[in-house]
Every structure is written in C-alpha cells, then in structure tokens.
Amino acid sequence: MATAAQQQAQESKPAKRKPIFTKVDQLRPGTGGHTLVVKVVNSTTVLQKGGAASAHLRHTRIAECLVGDETACIVFTARNEQVDLLTPGATVILRNAKIDMFKGCMRLAVDKWGRVEVTEPADFVVKEGNNLSLIEYELVNVSEE
C-alpha cells in the first residue's frame, strides 16, 4: 500500500510527453531539440584518431553522413559510437538533435544530451535533390538605430 507522501510524489512527476517529430525541410540554423526519423544515404569517415595524449580524446572518430527523409536531406556529423549506428541504408531516430553551422552551412548533430537509435526500416525514399547542407547562410548583423 502506497503512503500519501509516495502518491503525492508520483502525481507531481511531470508526465512524459510524446515526441514531436520534425521533417528535415523544417530545420533552420541555430535551432535544437529536434526529433527526426531519417534514413542514412551514405557515410564518409573524416577523422579517425587513436592513442591521443589525453584520455578523453583517445579514440576520436568523426563521420559525415548524408541523412534525410521524404522532404529533404542534410549532413549529419556522427561522433564515436554514433559512427557505428549510421550505416548506409539504416533508419535511425535522432532525439534532441541540433543544428551546427560549419563554414556557413547547416550540419545536424546529436551531442551528449541527445540519442541516436536504430529503428525498423522506413518506407520513404530520401529526397536527395533538396540538400540543406548545400545552402550557404550569411551572418547578418542588425544594428539598432
């Protein structure tokens, strides 16, 4: 039998909310907290280091993966264990993904606060003709007069 204090503690816990899935073509620079279901088109390893001087940089692996859905595609920067999950043809759920800017172009990334999970194959075809990472953005300073 639960005590009144235990019942009150359970009731005060925030309910888990359902994730709101975003489509790739809705991504904008400087945004974060996205949950997406994407298919991996290809993966290219851009950095692989082993045996660095400091322990936390021992095995650094970075791969650039072209991922997308039926609306668009974007380059996803996969780090370390994420590289193994993002194999070409795999369908993954990216939770709490954010947009990083690299040389004026958007890149999708999942840091330590997010999660990459492989899921069952999706039945959509990736729209490779609409690559959001090929759009170059320019930083414009707005001065207040």
Domain ranges of the chain: 24-50+58-134
Under a CB-based contact definition with an 8 Å cutoff, are residues 133 and 106 in contact? Answer: yes
pLDDT in tens, the chain (145 residues): 556 555 555 555 667 778 889 999 999 999 999 999 999 999 998 877 765 555 555 678 899 999 999 999 999 999 999 999 999 999 999 999 999 999 999 999 999 999 999 999 989 999 999 999 999 998 788 877 6
The number of CA neighbours under 13 Å toward the Cβ of 41 is 18
At 88 the pLDDT is 93
At 93 the pLDDT is 95
At 8 the pLDDT is 54
Q: Is 1 helix (H, G, I), strand (E, B) or coil?
A: coil
Global pTM value: 0.78
H or E element at residue 84: helix 81-85
**CA angle 114-24-33, nearest 5°?**
30
> 39 to each of 20, 76, 93, 110, how far by Cα in Å?
18, 11, 9, 15
At 59 the pLDDT is 73
Beta-strand runs (E) in 69-145: 73-79, 91-102, 105-109, 115-119
24-50+58-134: CATH topology is OB fold (Dihydrolipoamide Acetyltransferase, E2P) (2.40.50)
Q: Which residues contact 120 (CB under 8 A, 6 or more apart)?
A: 91
- Residue 101 tokens, joined: 């800017």
Under a CB-based contact definition with an 8 Å cutoff, are residues 100 and 42 in contact? Answer: no
At 2 the pLDDT is 56
Separation of alpha carbons 47 and 60, rounded Å:
7
